[in-house]
Amino acid sequence: AQSVTQPDIHITVSEGASLELRCNYSYGATPYLFWYVQSPGQGLQLLLKYFSGDTLVQGIKGFEAEFKRSQSSFNLRKPSVHWSDAAEYFCAVGSLSGGGADGLTFGKGTHLIIQP
Amino acid sequence: DARVTQTPRHKVTEMGQEVTMRCQPILGHNTVFWYRQTMMQGLELLAYFRNRAPLDDSGMPKDRFSAEMPDATLATLKIQPSEPRDSAVYFCASGPGGSSSTDTQYFGPGTRLTVL
């Protein structure tokens, strides 16, 4: 069975500082990996995804993530955070079957707090 | 700007009542997912459909939950009878299916259900 671990429940970062959110996955085959962001009371917005190819993927809002197969990790990074980045961040792993993607398995999320 | 829509956005009901949540996937998407988000369990996949056919509902309590797609523009999730432990935010997501490079799940804003 696939699983996702986000070791950090909360992270506090100063505005303008760099950010790294950790994600480790367990999956038997080639994983399809995602990062989503959720603002309070909102749905989930896709930041970026990895299916294959270049292991460094660029997303929206200046985020990037690196897939490291040897470490079973897919950490999310941003060089300089803004106050508007405060939100809940979810890492997810998925698979494909005939015709498209299957349901996602999500981590428990990391709550990002931005200090002024 | 194509979006997944969900109704109602909020629902408060009493234990034992029937609850129906509706989802309109993005036009042209052939896969619809239902997820539930709680503080304790996080985001869990309940069920999903492809081309209106149920593919997996193993995450759903079968005795009280049912999910259907009466047509390509409407997915429903029904709880009968509802219980306080069903209180959660229920998200619908849709995806275009097809190749891995294009298949991404787009989430609706959710239905916040409170069962008293």
- Phi, psi (5° rounding) for residue A61? 60, 25
Residue B109 — left, alpha, or beta (φ > 0 → left; ψ -120 to 50 → alpha)? Answer: alpha
Q: Looking at the domain assignment, is residue B116 inside a domain? A: no
A95 touches chain B (CB under 8 A): no
CB contacts, 8 Å: A29 with chain B:
none
- Chain A residues inside the 8 Å CB shell of B31: 99-101
Residue B112 lies in a domain: no
Architecture label for domain A3-115: Sandwich (2.60)
**Total structural domains within chain B:** 1
Domain that holds residue B30: 5-107
Phi, psi dihedrals of residue A36, rounded to the nearest 5°: -120, 155
Within 10 A of A9 (CB to CB), how many other CB atoms are there? Answer: 9
Q: Do A44 and B107 touch (CB under 8 A)?
A: yes
Cis (ω within 30 of 0) for the bond into B81? yes
The answer to whether residue B113 sits within a structural domain is no
What CA dihedral angle connects B52, A27, B107 and A107, to 10 degrees?
140
Find where tokens 């009371």 sit: A41
- In chain B, which residue's Cα lies nearest the Cα of A48? B104
pLDDT tens, residue order, chain B (116 aa)? 789 999 999 999 999 999 999 999 999 998 999 999 999 999 999 999 998 998 888 889 889 999 999 999 999 999 999 999 999 999 999 998 766 555 789 999 999 999 99
